[in-house]
Amino acid sequence: MHNPIELQKIIEEAIGEIAYPVRPANLYEPIKYIMSLGGKRIRPVMVLMATELFTDEVSIALDVALAIETFHNFTLVHDDIMDNAPLRRGKQTVHEKWGVNNAILSGDVMMVESNKHLSKVDSSVLKPVLDTFNQTAQGVCEGQQLDMEFETRDDVSIEEYIDMIRLKTAVLLGGAMKLGAIVAGADEKNAELLYQFGENLGVAFQLQDDILDVYGDPEKFGKQVGGDIISNKKTFLHLTAKQLIKPNETDVLLGNHDTAEQKVAAVTALYDSYGIRELSNAKMEQYLTKAYQALADLDVYESRKTYLRELTKQIMERES
């Protein structure tokens, strides 16, 4: 078995060895670029970890891990276009560097590259691998669509929000775990438990992201603290506050402020007065508990689960 750091290294090496076509250069350079921007490679590491619960032959899961990472990066390329984002991991986004049309098309071909990786799995698991991957990919697209629609809606409920982040973020973690299980030949019950583990961890992960966006340490948080508040993003914190505040406080949450700093300060103070941080933490813990429960129910030796618990801790204790 490999610890998370070792698995991340395996992934990095495998990404470095992918031989994309050379021509047309402008189609494939953006793929190499975005794939090399790094990140923690959490999703492909999760694929490999799921596989290592059942077998030491981690290499059998490498193609699926690459498919998941390529797909994830494809969503980043297209989401960044839709969000008009200039930066990704501190570097220019693909559409900023190569133009929107090029970014659309490079993203499209990344989807094909994902499917090419997938098609290399052993034929005995090809069909369930495809089914799980396609269902996952579809969920992620649905989540992105809902996320965009929520921007212009004023009646988003907390349940809808949780369902949106489940689709946009969590199903991919669930899918990664389940795919790792499938290629390892896990039975259906274990594969489903691992899906539940990943999905619940994913919701917890995103809730924590929302909390960090407001309460993160500015020195350690990669993005601008308060970004969600400034853009009126309907996060769990925002929606919970909206439910609790008095009518005369609506202006603080939704109204205009002289400066962005003032807005962040005022809304954070409002959050504080209603214990929004604690409510959000409690919600996050709820999903984390479900994730740990699925892991506990999993029918493999406890010793095999150690690294997965370690990864979960790392993910949930992150500060950026």
Residues that bind its own copies (CB under 8 A): 21, 23-24, 26-27, 78, 81-82, 101-102, 104-105, 107-109, 111-113, 115-116, 118-119, 123, 126-127, 130-131, 134, 137-138, 141-142, 144-146, 148-149
Q: Which regions of 152-295 does DSSP assign to beta strands (E)? A: none
88, β-bridge pairs: 91
Give the separation between CA 314 and CA 308, rounded to whole angstroms: 10
In the bound state with its own copies, the residue whose beta carbon lies nearer, of 100 and 269, is 100
User: What is the closest distance, in whole angstroms, from the C-beta atom of residue 247 to its own copies in the complex?
Assistant: 31
256, with CB counted inside 10 A (0-12, 13-18, 19+), is exposed
In the bound state with its own copies, the residue whose beta carbon lies nearer, of 96 and 310, is 96
Give the separation between CA 176 and CA 43, rounded to whole angstroms: 6
In the bound state with its own copies, the residue whose beta carbon lies nearer, of 24 and 38, is 24
The residue among 132, 166, 131, 171 whose CA lies nearest residue 146 is 166
Give the separation between CA 128 and CA 210, rounded to whole angstroms: 34
User: What is the closest distance, in whole angstroms, from the C-beta atom of residue 280 to its own copies in the complex?
Assistant: 25
> HSE on the CB side for 97, CA within 13 Å?
16
Give the separation between CA 307 and CA 112, rounded to whole angstroms: 32
Please report, as a single letter, which amino acid is at residue 197: F
User: What is the closest distance, in whole angstroms, from the C-beta atom of residue 78 to its own copies in the complex?
Assistant: 6
User: What is the closest distance, in whole angstroms, from the C-beta atom of residue 281 to its own copies in the complex?
Assistant: 30
In the bound state with its own copies, the residue whose beta carbon lies nearer, of 31 and 49, is 31
User: What is the closest distance, in whole angstroms, from the C-beta atom of residue 65 to its own copies in the complex?
Assistant: 18
In the bound state with its own copies, the residue whose beta carbon lies nearer, of 111 and 252, is 111
Longest distance between any two alpha carbons in the chain, whole Å:
63
- Is 211 within 8 Å of 280 (Cβ atoms)? yes
In the bound state with its own copies, the residue whose beta carbon lies nearer, of 119 and 157, is 119
User: What is the closest distance, in whole angstroms, from the C-beta atom of residue 121 to its own copies in the complex?
Assistant: 10
In the bound state with its own copies, the residue whose beta carbon lies nearer, of 131 and 285, is 131
Give the separation between CA 88 and CA 297, rounded to whole angstroms: 37
User: What is the closest distance, in whole angstroms, from the C-beta atom of residue 197 to its own copies in the complex?
Assistant: 24
What is residue 302's DSSP assignment?
A: G
